[in-house]
A and B are shown apart, each in its own frame.
Chain A
């Protein structure tokens, strides 16, 4: 049996005196687009940081590809060696660099020479359909263009997993829907597993096949999203499902 792409084993996380999780366990299989759902402040983004190796767990272990990557208080496998990339909530585009430079610098850990880096960056821009924006700075782009630039930077190193930390907040619905389709296409094209963090089940259904709902410091429910929506247990999904008939009921 193949090892999970990433696995949390009895993880406890604290911020100062506040305990976010205790004895938290979760497995995400390779190739399985996975959504972590939950209300704001439940610790979803912290989970992504644990996967990425940006933060070690206070207690417990994070395993990547069947090996311990972080153990209590210590990061054993550096973030860039995990071959995960991330689109941050604020996108974290480096503001003084052009889009092309952002993508090129994002390839710093890929072990490519200058020419290869340039080619790879340009092809990522093409894939994300923003090749004509390469010479612009992030501040000169619209919200949707910035999302694509961040996506290009994240996909250019050809990661195994793309961690998405609520990257669609602040975008209008038309752009969102368009981006969902683009990301699905790109991840298929690049063979990347998506791990999405969101409070919006609609995003999860659009991008992921599986998911877990985090509530009250633990996994409230987990499985195929389709199944979860059919019989929701968590407050997050129940609230979402409850409003669906109203929305489709033509209240407007």
Chain B
């Protein structure tokens, strides 16, 4: 019998498990990386402007991360700490950009600039336009990371702070406690921008992702593209290492076993207008403005038949890909979190590994998998060339998001639970099934939902790996948008936004359903 205490003890299995898990997350891109190792490519990675492009990408990624932090952090704090009218609806609204492919936001932004009569070289184009476009994704990431972090703050600590210094002191205290989570979220948001060429293409910005796209799609040089990806990953890791060090340490340190009742949102008159105002602004800028640009042509004609046909043809696949991605990412992230949560050095390795996984563009993973499937025997097709493959590859790439959620959750599980199980002879499996898994069910559900939402917005992976004819809704939208009438594109975009709203409503429902468990968990014992 394996003792449940193993979960709380150091051991070589943790290092091996973490390494194996991260290797699994990197597996889809491995065939292309292997080409780099074995290839005799002579073209220099730093040929042309690649070094400059990486630099520009870092600036845009950093800018998007900082903007996401500056906007998302106070918004998340207020939304997490205080009650106000329309809280749930506004929070659901600002999650919308997570579901929408980034290029759609960029097109919306571009249309908006023209509508506003702004010159081409304005803040809404080029590098600054890209920063806005990527911040639209980064801001909700930060808001939700802060919400989760605030939610696990001890009520007694907040009350003590409130008594000592009023609400401003509460904001300062909660801000310090939640800053590492916000920082890690904005870091992931910034990194996301490095692997996505879409907005740059539309808004006239050439970064590292554009260079990788050129290597793939103009030069058809997979090896060069893979080498560029590796270099970008290395540079990002080096640039982000101080933050990795800071967040990996603080993220867990702020969360280590704490047996206190978690806080509940309180009332504060200032927050009752400030929080909705901030959330409303975020919603208006990141959702309403681009959507207005996109759906404006629909006023002329709504293509109901075409929209319905597209939804009917692609809806099921979209859901299957998204759900699978959520499950794969969450499953792997849970394993990684179990391996890393209790050891500081492994937490750092964990976050560093997640950054590498996140920085690699979807095309590298998708084409790597396509290459592997092409060389594999046909009987492996159900694994390598099915909808399962699409979901798995999407999920593996989004493991970092699930990883942060699950690492937090694992760190909050008191060590004494597993130790008590060990003393009482509860086998590891039974402990995991009856105690740990139900405890993690809430974070697992949140992680599945979050990854599923983001996976829905992916176009590249589905385009390159879908079993023929098994397209997703965003890909269908993507493949008609070049030449279809704008009103048709607008109809599809509007339908997609509406479906996204329904999906978010479903996530809200999940949140409500898991609440009883969270409450039971929260008041586990007295201090």
**CB-nearest residue of chain B relative to A56?**
B9
B319 in contact (CB, < 8 A):
no
User: How many residues from A make CB contacts under 8 Å with B?
Assistant: 39
The stretch from A24-32, A81-89, A209-217, A226-234 touching chain B is A81-89
Q: Is B426 an interface residue (CB 8 A)?
A: yes
The CB with the most chain B CB atoms within 10 A, among A54, A95, A96, A143, is that of: A95
Report how far A181 CA is from B421 CA in the complex, Å.
Answer: 27
Q: Bound complex: CA of A209 vs CA of B71, how far in Å?
A: 62
A50-92 vs B: 1/0 string, CB under 8 Å? 0011110000000000000000000000111100111011111
- B417 pairs with A92, CB closer than 8 A: yes
Residues from chain A with a CB closer than 8 A to the CB of B438 are 96
Say whether chain B's binding surface is mostly helix, strand, loop, or mixed: helix
By a CB distance below 8 angstroms, the chain B residues around A137 are 520
B3/A79 in contact, CB under 8 A: yes
Report the bound CA distance from A52 to B8 in whole Å: 14
| Complex contacts, A169 vs chain B, CB 8 Å | 527
Number of interface residues of B (CB under 8 A): 34
Q: A79-B5, A88-B420 are in contact. Are A108 and B525 (CB under 8 A)?
A: no
Chain B residues near A96 (CB-CB < 8 A)? 434-435, 438-439, 517, 520-521
Q: Given A79-B5, A88-B416, A90-B414, are A95 and B424 neighbors across the interface (CB < 8 Å)?
A: no
Set of chain A residues within 8 Å of B484, measured between Cβ atoms = none
In the complex formed, the residue of A with least CB distance to B414 is: A90
A54 touches B5 (CB 8 A): yes
Q: Inside 8 A of B15's CB, which chain A residues have their CB? A: none
Give the chain A neighbours of B427 by CB distance below 8 A: 108
User: Hey, which chain B residues are within 8 Å of A191, CB to CB?
Assistant: none
Contacting residues, chain B, for A53 (C-beta < 8 A): 422
Contact A139-B520, Cβ < 8 Å, known A86-B420, A88-B419, A105-B434: yes
Q: Are B419 and A97 in contact (CB under 8 A)?
A: no
Contact status B423-A90, CB under 8 Å:
no
- The interface residues of chain A lying within 8 Å CB-to-CB of B430 are 105, 108
Q: Is B20 an interface residue (CB 8 A)?
A: no
* A240 beta carbon closer than 8 Å to chain B: no
| Chain A 98-130 residues near chain B, CB threshold 8 A | 105-110
* Contact between chains at A92 and B419 (CB < 8 Å): yes
Whether B419 lies near A95 (C-beta < 8 A) is no
CB proximity of A26 to chain B, nearest CB, Å: 20
B423 touches A85 (CB 8 A): yes
A92 B420 Cβ-Cβ under 8 A: yes
Q: Residue B204 at the A interface, CB < 8 A?
A: no
Q: Annotate A119-157 by CB proximity to B: 1 below 8 A, 0 otherwise.
A: 000000000000000000111100100100000010001
B111 → A minimal CB distance (Å) = 50
B423 touches A95 (CB 8 A): no
A146 touches B424 (CB 8 A): no
Return the contact of A94 from the options B3, B257, B434 (Cβ within 8 A): B434
Whether A97 lies near B434 (C-beta < 8 A) is yes
**Does any Cβ of B come within 8 Å of A170's Cβ?**
yes
Report B400-455 residues with CB < 8 Å from chain A CB. Answer: 414, 416-417, 419-427, 430, 434-435, 438-439
* Given known contacts A79-B422, A106-B424, A109-B426, A91 and B525 CB-to-CB distance under 8 angstroms: yes
Q: Is the CB of A170 within 8 A of B527?
A: yes
11 A-B pairs with C-beta separation under 8 A: A54-B8, A79-B422, A86-B420, A90-B259, A92-B419, A94-B420, A95-B439, A96-B439, A97-B435, A108-B426, A139-B520
Q: Tell me the A residues contacting B by CB distance below 8 Å.
A: 49, 52-55, 78-81, 84-86, 88-97, 105-110, 137-140, 143, 146, 153, 157, 169-171
Additional 5 contacts, C-beta under 8 A, given A85-B424, A108-B427, A140-B520? A78-B425, A90-B525, A96-B520, A105-B426, A169-B527
Task: Point out residues on B near A: beta carbons under 8 Å.
Answer: 1, 3, 5, 8-9, 257, 259, 414, 416-417, 419-427, 430, 434-435, 438-439, 517, 519-527
Closest 9 pairs between A and B when the two form their complex, measured CB to CB: A109-B425, A80-B425, A92-B416, A139-B523, A92-B420, A96-B438, A143-B526, A108-B426, A106-B424
